[in-house]
Structure 1
Amino acid sequence: MFWRIILAVSTRNRRAFAYFLGAVIPVKLAVLYLIGPTIWPDTAGYIAFAEPILDRAKAFRPIDWIGGPPAPLFVFRLPGYPLVLAGAELLSAENYASITVIFQIFLNVVALILVFKVVAHLGFSIGQIMAVLALYVFSDSLLFDNSILSDSIYSSLFNIVVFSLIGHAIGCWRLTLLGGLGLGFLWGFSTWTRDSGIYFTYVPVLLILAGSRGSAGGFARRLSLLCA
């Protein structure tokens, strides 16, 4: 699917985007190889949540409010990112952190493809497209994809859903019912990684309404004027 999206744009834009990915992906993998996954003070909390998930799903058992700690871990931390860590640990107990980082890089590549297609469809020049992609490099999604934190995955899922809906609204692609359900799942899971995502649910709702009510061409022109 994603290669068809890339091939739908001009050869010049496609070549520039290939160069961009060819620069970003090796740098990300080199950082992972040279320094390994970045561990932050908050990382331990995610790992402490992930381990009971694998241990017969203890993380989802009723909480002992009497004999347990005053601040139960499973109450004040969402299960989304620990589930990702648990899934990676199922693949490799020793290299789960690196697997998680590679997964986060993959999500960033998916988001970049969608961003590229949308801005190219809006008629941006090659310089403007590269400027947009360069700005994306400094987003939480890319800056923290080498870290064992929820920041990168949440940001990537947010961008994937939002730009998928923008692409549908402006006529880049047609979103099917199955695709819409998939985006709904991704958005729901993103709120499991960051509860702040709940407050931004109006964004995909507005984009769905825009895509269903307005003509694709008219919405594309209005959006391009706003972005100009």
Structure 2
Amino acid sequence: MTTTASTAADGSWLGALVDAVVGLMDVIGPYGAGIGIAAENLFPPLPSEAILPLAGLAASRGAFALWEAILWTTVGSVVGALVLYGIGAWFGLERLRRVADRLPLVNVADVDRTVAWFHRHGAVAVFFGRFIPIFRSLISIPAGVVHMPIWKFVLLTAAGSLIWNTIFVLVGWYLGESWHIVEQYMDVAQNVVIAVVVIAVVWFVVARIRSLRADERAE
């Protein structure tokens, strides 16, 4: 079997990276797809929306079973998420507080409020975060910082990843060479997420500056 690099390549460095993952699938089968998805967790610009359909396409051509594509991509998702969880746990809450105390426009209270929110809604954030571009990877870090029980983190990550991966593997399975049509829509969704994050950051900075100025006038 050859999934063929031309299926994914777009002439960019990212296309070349996706091609490398495709080549890995050609050599070691569904395990290559799992390694690619684990790498996607650690390096979000590597798009799962390209790797997963290609795994489905390879399965439709008989390179490996459909269930193998879904299983190993989900295993890869969990492994990659656990690495980021470990980074968050190693960094720890106290170190995060010390860093926040040194950053302009940020204070320890911001960290405490975020941690309190995560304690209340962390399970929902980890599960549904698997469906949101960029956050799909980043949500694992605060889970590690607050030391979410590892069994709970793995269960939620596996459940969310299983749904996400199954959808896109099936896209490749059913659409075949036309899988890239869906990728175009996912690019739009990712751009929307990035725009929302940028707006939120700008809003935070403006609000914090206004608050500091108000405090200065009140003194």
TM-score (norm 1): 0.28
TM-score by length of 2: 0.29
Higher helix share: 2
